[in-house]
């Protein structure tokens, strides 16, 4: 360790000013000295935990910028919203926006909540596509407008005061849990995951677990912690469903009924591809 420290210290002591400033802002002056200048993590475990927490937080924010892109692409390529619950995205987006406003107004480190903004934006796009592919284009416009008004209100102290926002944050944990239930139910009812993205599900699972650690290290707020614990639990259920239904066939759709005329001219309803009773294909050709 001493030889490694001797080799690295000339580099860490002469880092460019922008990089040094970022390190100090993330770790604080003392932990920056202990970990970067002195390179002595063993003697300062608290600083090491903080550094791990910061690294995880930055990693989560980076991953969150693309976590829903595969889901967006699956919807666009398939032109279908099968297996994707709009209610789930509505509840989850509401929870993320409340968490974003609460943390920002509390002055918490951005590394502990930054993914809320990025995932919420992607959720809005996904939910709008789900409505569009479900034939509810007007509902998508109303959805976006409603969320915009809610965000403006939550960031304005004159409209939503600190006490009310704290109550909303307590409710955001419930919303976060509730947001997973419609999706879990949809998968169970359809017997498959449809257009749900495995990449998004498993990244959510890893992210929610990491957020429990970063919250314990950097944010002394049980309202936020309990929300992440509950979210991790239900994300684990979704991940288990994804594994269980991995090779399940898509839910079968009932074939549309086709009306034809019987031998005496009366209408006979048969499903697509079925043969009407009493008449062979050759008989129908002669008719």
Alpha-carbon distance 92 to 201, whole Å?
Answer: 13
Pair (263, 161) in one structural domain: no
Structure tokens at 241: 């469903």
Structure tokens at 151: 């965000």
Pair (150, 271) in one structural domain: no
Pair (25, 107) in one structural domain: no
232 within domain boundaries: yes
Pair (113, 237) in one structural domain: yes
- Residue 78: which region, alpha, beta or left (left: phi > 0; alpha: psi -120 to 50)? alpha
Pair (154, 232) in one structural domain: yes
Pair (150, 189) in one structural domain: yes
Per-run averaged pLDDT (10 residues), the chain, 287 residues: 77 86 88 87 88 86 83 88 84 90 89 86 92 87 91 92 89 78 81 75 82 83 80 85 74 45 52 46 44
62 within domain boundaries: no
Predicted local distance difference test score (pLDDT) of residue 252:
45
Predicted local distance difference test score (pLDDT) of residue 131:
92
For 51-71, give the DSSP string: HHHHHHHHHHHHHHTTTTHHH
115 within domain boundaries: yes
192 within domain boundaries: yes
Pair (240, 261) in one structural domain: no
Q: What range defines the domain where residue 239 resides?
A: 67-244
Alpha-carbon distance 239 to 234, whole Å?
Answer: 9
59 within domain boundaries: no
Alpha-carbon distance 132 to 4, whole Å?
Answer: 58
Predicted local distance difference test score (pLDDT) of residue 256:
44
Pair (275, 189) in one structural domain: no
Pair (10, 127) in one structural domain: no
250 within domain boundaries: no
Pair (114, 219) in one structural domain: yes
**In the chain, which ranges are continuous DSSP H helix?**
2-12, 17-27, 29-32, 45-64, 69-78, 86-106, 115-133, 137-154, 162-190, 198-218, 222-244, 281-286
225 within domain boundaries: yes
Pair (98, 200) in one structural domain: yes
Predicted local distance difference test score (pLDDT) of residue 58:
86
Alpha-carbon distance 282 to 287, whole Å?
Answer: 9
């Amino acid at each position: 360790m001493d030889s490694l420290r001797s080799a690295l210290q000339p580099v860490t002591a002469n880092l460019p000013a922008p990089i040094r400033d970022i390190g100090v802002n993330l770790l604080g002056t003392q932990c920056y000295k202990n970990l970067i200048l002195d390179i002595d993590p063993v003697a300062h475990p608290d600083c090491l935990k903080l550094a791990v927490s910061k690294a995880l937080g930055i990693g989560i924010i980076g991953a969150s910028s693309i976590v829903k892109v595969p889901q967006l692409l699956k919807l666009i390529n398939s032109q279908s919203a099968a297996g994707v619950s709009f209610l789930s995205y509505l509840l989850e987006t509401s929870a993320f926006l409340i968490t974003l406003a609460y943390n920002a107004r509390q002055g918490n480190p951005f590394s502990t909540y930054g993914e809320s903004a990025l995932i919420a934006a992607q959720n809005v796009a996904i939910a709008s596509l789900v409505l569009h592919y479900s034939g509810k284009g007007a509902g998508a416009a109303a959805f976006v407008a409603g969320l915009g008004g809610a965000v403006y209100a939550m960031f304005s102290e004159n409209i939503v005061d600190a006490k009310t926002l704290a109550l909303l944050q307590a409710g955001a944990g419930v919303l976060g849990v509730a947001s997973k239930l419609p999706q879990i139910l949809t998968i169970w009812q359809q017997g498959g995951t449809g257009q749900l993205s495995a990449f998004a599900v498993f990244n959510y699972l890893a992210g929610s677990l990491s957020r429990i650690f970063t919250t314990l290290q950097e944010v002394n707020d049980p309202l936020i912690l309990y929300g992440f614990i509950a979210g991790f639990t239900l994300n684990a259920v979704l991940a288990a469903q994804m594994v269980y239904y991995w090779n399940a066939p898509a839910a079968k759709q009932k074939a549309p009924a086709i009306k034809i005329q019987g031998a005496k001219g009366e209408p006979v309803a048969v499903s697509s591809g079925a043969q009407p009773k009493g008449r062979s294909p050759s008989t129908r050709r002669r008719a």
